[in-house]
Amino acid sequence: MKKMYIYILIGLITFLFTACDTKTSAEEKRDTLSNIIIDDAYIILDNQELMQQYTDYNEQLLKEFDIDFRVITTTDDSNIDIFTNQAFTTLQSESRSNSGKALLMVVNVSQDKVRLEVSMALEPIYTDAYVSYVERKGLVPYFRDNKVADGIYMMTELTRDRASEAREGKEFMPPMESKSIGGGAKTKAHIGVIDPNVKKGDHITTTTSDTPKDILNKHIHVLKTHNKNPDLEIYSDASKVFFKSWTVTDINMNNEYRFINQCNKGREFRYSENHQYAVAMNHPVKERTCSPYFFKKERGKWTLDISTMSKVLRFNGPMQWHFDMAKKFEIMSNYEFAFVGLYYDKNGYPFISKNKNLGAKKLKWGFTCSAYYDPRDPSKTIKCWIKQLQQEGVAKNRLGLQQRDKILSAGEGSSLIDNISMDDFMEYMKTIPSGKKAVVTVERDTGEVKVLRTTTP
C-alpha cells in the first residue's frame, strides 16, 4: 500500500512538471508569434509612428489577401538563406494565413543582407525576379538612407500592390500548407551606405514662357528617365529641400509615371486670380484615380509644388487620392480656388454634390461653398463655408457675405436654421417674401460672429 502511494506521488509530480513545462513553452511561443516584427537587431521598433502604420497595413494585407507578412531583424552569423527558411518554418507552424500565403523578410544587419522568403502558395505571384527587383529598386534605396523602417513599410505597400494586381489577374493559387522551399530572393542591404549617384541626373531648365502644362511634361520626362536630381528648376524651392531628404526610388518613379500617364485625358489647369498658383485637375474628380498637381510661380517661372502636395495629399490602397484634412486647412489655402464646388467626406475624399442644379443656383447667388471640417473638433463642422464669391454677385453686394465666411445659421426666431447647408440656404432665401428681411449669421475668418440682414428684391 505504501509503495502504491509512492508511485502515485511520483506520477503526480511527473505530470505536474510536464504540464507546467508545456504551458511555459506554449506561452513563450505565443508571445513570440504575436509579434509580426521580431526586431532582434533593434533597428526598427523605435520608430513608433511608422510601426503603427506598418501594423495597420500588415493587418490589412492579412484581411484582404490572407497574406501573413512577418519581419525579423537579426545579427545572426549563419547563412541567411537557411536562417530565413528555418525561421519561416518555425513562424508558420502557427500561421496567421488560412491558405498558406506567407512572406518573411529577414534583415541581417551584421551581414548587411536582406532576404524575402516566399511561401509556395505565393511563388507564382512573388517570383524570384520580382522579389529581387523590388529589393534592389524599392527597398535598398531606403536602407542606404538609413531608413530601414521606411523601407520595410514600403515593401509592405509594394506587396499589397502586387497582390492587388495578381487578384485581378487571378494568379492566386488555391489554399495549401504554409510551407516554403526557399522561394524569394536576397540582396545586399547597403544599410547606411550612401549611393554616390542617387541624387544625380541631367539638369532640366525652365523658362518664363513655360506653362504649368510644360512643367508637368518635364516632370513626366524626369520620372521616365529616373532623374533623381533634387535641384531641377521644375521644382519649387521648398520642393528642392523636400527632395534632398526624401528617398526616391525607381519603383516610386515608375508607379507615378504609370499613374500620371493614365491621366493625360481630361486634365484641366486651373489658375488662381493673381495667377501665382495653378492646379492640374482631372475629371471626373469622383473617380479619385488622378491626383491633382500643384504649381506656384517663383521668380517669374512656374514650378511644381511637390512639398505642399506631399503634406496634404494621401493615397489609399487602390491609389485613390484624398486630402489629409488636418493639414489641408492649415497649408492649402493658396490652392483652394481649384477645389471650389467640391465636398469632402470625413476622411478627406472629394465628391461632387448629387444635386445637378446646384451649380446653376450658385451662379444665381454668386457664391459657392463647401463643408468645413474641423479635425480638432468634429462638432464644429460647418456645412457651408464660402469658397468663392463673385464680385458682382448678390451674396456679396446685397447680403455682405465675404470669402471664407462660415454660415452658422439663417433666419431668426421660429424660422432659425442652424448650420444650414447651401441647398437649404437657397430654399430659405426663396421663402422670404419680397421686401422682407433675410437674416444670415456668419463667422468671419477672424473668428468674429456677424449677423447680416438684407431686404430681398
Partner 1 sequence: MNKGSKSYLIMGMGVIVVVMLGLFWTGYNSLVDKEENVMESWSQVESNLQRKLDLLPNLVKVVKTYAKHEKELLTEITALRANADDLLSENKSLPNEVQVAKLGKMKQNLDTSLLKLYAVAENYPDLKSSEQFLQLQSQIEGAENRINITRMQFNSSVGDFNAYMRTIPSNIIASIGGFQRKAYFKAEQSAHKKLDLGL
Among positions 186, 219, 240, 396, the unique one binding partner 1 when judged by CB under 8 A:
186
The yes or no reply on residue 228 touching partner 1 (CB under 8 A) is no
Separation CA 446–CA 448 (nearest Å):
6
Which C-beta is closer to partner 1: that of 181 or that of 416?
181
Work out the number of other CB atoms within 10 angstroms of the CB of residue 44: 21
Could you tell me which residues are beta bridge partners of residue 303? 296
Q: What is the DSSP string of 50-63?
A: HHHHHHHHHHHHHH
The amino acid occupying position 20 is C
Q: Give the residue ranges of DSSP H helices in 93-134.
A: 128-134
Task: Round the CA-based radius of gyration of the chain to a whole number and report it.
Answer: 29
For partner 1, the binding residues in 105-124 under the rule CB under 8 A are: 113
Q: Which is nearer to partner 1, 116 or 389 (CB)?
A: 116
| Bridge partners of residue 417, in order along the sequence | 410
Question: Taking the complex as a whole, how short is the minimal distance between the CB of residue 79 and partner 1, in angstroms?
Answer: 9
Q: Is 402 in the site for partner 1 (CB under 8 A)?
A: no
Task: State in angstroms the smallest separation of the CB of 150 from partner 1.
Answer: 22
For residue 252, state whether it binds partner 1 (rule: CB under 8 A): no
Q: Which of 45, 76, 166, 188 contacts partner 1 by CB under 8 A?
A: 188
Stretch that binds partner 1, among 165-173, 182-190, 258-266, 369-377 (CB under 8 A): 182-190
Cell matching residue 36: 509580426
Judge residue 34's burial from the number of C-beta atoms within 10 Å of its C-beta, 0-12 exposed, 13-18 middle, 19 or more buried: exposed
What's the min distance (Å) between Cβ of 336 and partner 1? 44
Alpha helix stretches (DSSP H) within 353-402: 358-365, 394
Q: Is 151 in the site for partner 1 (CB under 8 A)?
A: no
Half-sphere exposure of 360 (CA within 13 A, CB side): 3
The minimum distance between CB 173 and partner 1, in angstroms, equals 16
In the bound complex, what is the minimum distance in angstroms from residue 115's beta carbon to partner 1?
9
Residue span binding partner 1 (CB under 8 A) among the ranges 180-188, 261-269, 305-313, 407-415: 180-188
Using rule CB under 8 A, residue 128 touches partner 1: yes
Residue 176 binds to partner 1 (criterion: CB under 8 A): no
Residues 55-94: x where in contact with partner 1 by CB under 8 A, - otherwise, as a string: --------------------------xx--x---------
- Asked if residue 403 lies in contact with residue 388, where contact means CB atoms within 8 angstroms, the answer is yes
Considering only residues 58, 74, 119, 187, which one is a binding residue for partner 1 as defined by CB under 8 A?
187
Among residues 354, 427, 424, 368, the alpha carbon closest in space to that of 401 is found at 368
The residue range among 39-47, 127-135, 241-249, 362-370 that interacts with partner 1, by the rule CB under 8 A, is 127-135
Does residue 132 touch partner 1 according to CB under 8 A?
Answer: yes
Q: Residue 268 burial (CB < 10 Å; 0-12/13-18/19+)? A: exposed
Binding mask 265-304 for partner 1 (x = CB under 8 A): ----------------------------------------
Q: Choose the binding region for partner 1 from 4-12, 97-105, 185-193, 365-373 (rule: CB under 8 A).
A: 185-193
By CB under 8 A, tell whether 239 contacts partner 1. Answer: no
Report the C-alpha gap between 94 and 103 in whole angstroms: 14
Q: Are 328 and 308 in contact (CB under 8 A)?
A: no
Among 33, 45, 50, 182, binds partner 1 (CB under 8 A): 182
Segment near partner 1 (CB under 8 A); pick from 52-60, 184-192, 303-311, 321-329 = 184-192
Per CB under 8 A, the list member of 61, 163, 185, 306 interacting with partner 1 is: 185
Task: Check residue 13 for interaction with partner 1 (CB under 8 A).
Answer: no
> Do strands 293-298 and 277-282 pair parallel, antiparallel, or not at all (unpaired)?
antiparallel
Contact status: 133 vs partner 1 (CB under 8 A): yes
Counting other chains too, the contacts that 380-383 makes at CB distance below 8 Å and 24 or more residues apart are 381/419, 382/406, 382/407, 382/408, 382/419, 382/443, 383/407, 383/419, 383/420, 383/421, 383/422
Are 453 and 438 a contacting pair, CB within 8 Å?
yes
Nearer to partner 1, 131 or 401 (CB): 131
Q: Rounded to an integer, what distance in angstroms lies between the CA atom of residue 114 and that of residue 434? A: 76
Residue number with CB closer to partner 1 (187 or 291): 187
**For binding to partner 1 (CB under 8 A), which residues are involved?**
81-82, 85, 113, 127-129, 131-133, 136, 180-188
